Amino acid sequence: MRVVRGIWRILVGVKDALVLLLLLVFFGLLFAALSVSPNAKIPDSGALVLDLTGTLVEQPSQSDALALLSRAAPAAREYRLRDVIRSLDAAAGDKAVKAVVLDLDGFTGGGQATIAAAGDALDRVRRSGKPVLAFASGYTDDSYQLAAHASEVWLDPLGAVLLTGPGGARLYYKGLLDKLGITPKVYRVGEFKSAVEPYLRTDMSPEARAANQFVANALWTTWQQDVARVRPGARIAAYIEAPQSAIDAAGGDLAVAAQRAGLIDKLGDRIAFGRRVAELAGPSDDKMIGEYRAIPLENWAAAHPEKSSGDAIGVLTVAGNIVDGKAGPGTAGGDTIANLLLEALADKKLKALVVRVDSPGGSVTGSERIRTAILEARRRRIPVVVSMGSVAASGGYWVATAADKIIAERSTITGSIGVFGILPTFPGTLAKLGLSADGIKTTALSGEPDLLRGTSPTFDRLIQTGIDTTYRRFTGLVAQARHMTPAGVDRIGQGRIWDGATAQRIGLVDGFGGLEAAVAEAARLARVDPKRIRPLFIEEEPSFAAKMLESFARGPDKDQAATDAFSRVAAQPAQLLTGALADARMLAEGPAIQVRCMECPVRAVPRPADAGLARLLLERIAGW
């Protein structure tokens, strides 16, 4: 009987555990459904609130399921640019929206061209006669670039506007590699292909410095011109040139200095700002002090979906690092993107195709896989226009060579027509540890690449030949697409990066404009009435499971994170180190031959382990 009772208790325990598990799954799915499908019901009137706590991107990346489930690191929120633009355009013509509010306390930035596109949408709201109000406890370059498009820019009295411009340091690893006995074997083509310099030098080469300084100056000029256009009364140049003089003249008050320079319209805390918005949009229903009637961005976007009727202009997005095989959103998997396009072409519904590129490149074969799929559209006599986002360089430009026409932004970073490869070898490391390696060969390439003893001259020549061949292929594609000679492409290639304005002058792009301009140009080439077109976005919708995980992927609340401008600047060392670790991982795990722009301000997505290791290293450095 005791045995029977014991078995019965085990069965009851298993039953209770299964019931509990099912309940947890049920409530988890219910919570996720409510989280990922916000109620589209909106107030009769109010202020559309863009609480951008995170980054503004072309295509949000897919969250790492293991990281989310382990809670190793909360995922930073990413807002899709076209959702923001569509919502703002809908708000411009809807009487229910009395004002638009930009809450930028948690805004961590985006590409310069990406922010400019959102700013243009804010300008359209203002031209419709509706006020746009921005608030932050502190502004830096990215947040101020967006806030400048507001009709009222508010700053907390304890805040500041810190404008630093593009630039800064990057890590160079040669000294560390020497101490560890690691010898990097580098293969490259391109005088300016400085991606590998950190592994070979302790400082920036004159060629890389000249190229990067040229682009940084061009981007900074474009940034200032963009801000001056929407805030003509702001004394931007004087404030940037001599911020301390402006601060001293304001009695040491940073917020007042920014206001006197015309960068800020009003000083006030959140309660004062909320009261001002309530004057325009009405007080909140719960009558809380400093609260107003708000329309959340998620609800508004859900109530205003993308257009579903009209002649379809396909929009294919190539965002993030280009990799071989399949990949989720935010990373450009060669097979994934090619298959999506080929499926869309098989439906025979597309009148034209726009390829939106926001990528620093990556795998050669992945880039070529996407390019050949785009060529299939042209073989079907479908016009193809490439629309460049903030970055369309190296492999991103390789993809663009398949287009009939290339349209960029003046602040787009493009070019980087060059090829490189890098392999770490460890004979010196083994010697430092008292170890050695030996073996046999049956051919000259047996055991290659021999990372323990060092690669052989035969292998080195083989890889360098592959690099040279790939570069000739790259310059040949550009020459054919842009009606240049290979020698002419080589002169503007060599791995050098260019801003969009310069790229247009040297023949790498045809004109300027955003995604809307590219869609209109594609319709013109297809001889379709622009009033009857609609963009058809060729992409995979996230699965329900992915959406459920995403509901748990929100970053830390603004209440728990520092929002002032000084804290954002102070966080840059950790971000630099995390990015460096991500770059090192990407080079170690990536293909042997790459067409990637490492100089571009787009990096591999850091894993939680990268962020954790970065924090550990910073703590050790602080301890030393």
The total number of residues shown for the chain amounts to 624
3-state class percentages of the chain: helix first, strand second, coil last, to nearest 5: 50, 20, 35
Binned average pLDDT, 10 residues per bin, the chain of 624 residues: 61 63 58 49 88 93 58 68 96 95 94 96 97 96 97 96 89 89 86 75 88 93 96 93 92 95 96 96 85 94 90 95 92 96 92 96 95 96 97 96 97 93 90 92 92 93 94 96 95 92 97 95 94 91 60 51 59 61 64 80 50 53 54
Instruction: Tell me which of 193, 363, 390, 416 is the catalytic residue.
Output: 193
Query: Is residue 470 a contact partner of residue 419, using CB atoms and an 8 Å limit?
Result: yes
What was the pLDDT predicted at 208?
85
Report residue 229: phi and psi, to 5°: -65, -40
Residue 137 annotated in active site: no
CATH class of this structure's domain 311-436+447-539: alpha beta
What was the pLDDT predicted at 206?
87
Its pTM stands at: 0.86
Tokens representing residue 297 in the block: 């961005």
Domain extent listing, the chain: 34-161+264-303, 311-436+447-539, 572-591+598-624
One-character DSSP codes across 452-509: TT---HHHHHHHHHHHHHHHHHHHHHHHHHHT--HHHHHHH-TT-EEEHHHHHHTTS-
Residue 394 annotated in active site: yes
Instruction: Tell me which of 394, 411, 416, 551 is the catalytic residue.
Output: 394
Largest CA distance in the chain: 92
Q: What's the chain's average pLDDT?
A: 85
What was the pLDDT predicted at 227?
96
Within this chain, domains 34-161+264-303 and 311-436+447-539 share the same CATH topology: yes
Give dist(CA 535, CA 312) in Å, integer: 6
Report residue 501: phi and psi, to 5°: -65, -45
Which residues have CB under 8 Å from 250's CB, separation 6+? Answer: 256, 257, 260
What was the pLDDT predicted at 38?
46
What was the pLDDT predicted at 61?
85
Give dist(CA 426, CA 181) in Å, integer: 7
Tokens representing residue 427 in the block: 């004979």
| CATH 3.20.20.140 applies to domain 34-161+264-303 | no
The string over 107-138, giving b where at least 16 C-beta atoms fall within 10 Å of a residue's C-beta and e elsewhere, is bbbbbbbbbbbbbbbbebbbeeebbbbbbbbb
